[in-house]
Amino acid sequence: MPQIAGTFDAYLNQAVALDARLGAAARVLLAVAAAAVEMTGLVDLGRLYGQLGASLASTNTDGDVQKELDVLANDMFVGAFRQAPVAAVVSEEMSEPLVLDSAAQLAVAIDPLDGSSNIDSNVSIGTIFSILPVLAKANGTEAHFLQPGRMQIAAGFVIYGPQTSIVFALGNGQTQIFTLDRRAGRFYQAVSAPVIDRESAEYAINASNYRHWEAPVRAFIDDCEQGTEGPLKRDHTMRWTGSLVADTYRILLRGGIFLYPGDQRAGYNHGRLRLLYEANPIALIVERAAGIATDGLHPILDIVPSAIHARVPLVFGSAAPVGLVARYHSDPQFSARAPLFGKRGLMRL
């Protein structure tokens, strides 16, 4: 039997021993892990449990029809946070913040079940979370959440797939990956401080939306598709699962770039992913793994949220291609197109 690495609890205990200020956040992470074990049991059963992917009559804050497991997941994680030092929760499944303990130190923003459309397809789904400090002079509950992502004390996601893993960064620490041993019901360290490759020839994007994209995104993908004959001088491979946590996990382990840009469709011009509980947590763990996360041009973690359910474009992954996408947005020569050149970029790198 392979040697078992350190436990999740032991890692958190060590982090708190080095910095006692992380104690409250560690307790929230333990609550996330406990709920994730329970969620794993439901996901593993699939249709044996019931119609987890069945649509309900209600919709969430994004306007998406809720699935049964969306609601179960929200109730499960909110219940876990009631046992932790959490003052208030913002969730994709709730229109307003929920106050739990006004005297507590932390605020949590969460997408309880990312990728719920994949439930019945047996594709990886996940939980994404962000832990913020409560503001001493906040003007109302929402104010606790309207902080830039760099203020996060901890953040991460749980992926429910062939393995259940919790991926997180705590305090000033690097990204860590702990995987659930289903036999023991405990998380053990699987990958310590993954480093995202600076270069990569893999990209993830929903290519069916090509006609809606703005010129810089189209130009970048066009140049990727041209391979060694194009300006990027290398062949590329597209990987797209339709599950944010699955694409993020892959990029953490082998590099790549993920793009979910804003586009010309109604409701998509400012992006589609939520800043508080999707983009900010992903951006933190990507940056702590030597990657970059932007809205196409600006660092995600520097953006001040305008509302608790504010949307944002998201581009993250290997530093070189993410930086290149920013150049496509900032330098007209990169995104210029003319009939003489067809789909070729005017700029040769």
Active site residues: 64, 70, 92-93, 111, 113-114, 278
Contact 66, 73 (CB under 8 A): no
Of 68, 71, 36, nearest to 52 by C-alpha is 68
Is residue 284 helix, strand or coil?
helix
Cα–Cα distance, 142 to 97 (Å, whole number): 7
Cα–Cα distance, 130 to 142 (Å, whole number): 14
Inter-residue long-range contacts of 141-144, CB under 8 Å, 24+ positions, other chains counted: 141/88, 141/97, 141/99, 142/97, 142/307, 142/308, 144/87, 144/88, 144/97, 144/107
92 phi/psi in degrees, rounded to 5: -60, -25
203 DSSP β-pair partners: 238, 257
Instruction: Give the DSSP letter of residue 60.
Output: -
297 phi/psi in degrees, rounded to 5: -140, -45
141 phi/psi in degrees, rounded to 5: -65, -40
Helix then strand count (H, E) for the chain reads: 8, 17
Contact 93, 61 (CB under 8 A): yes
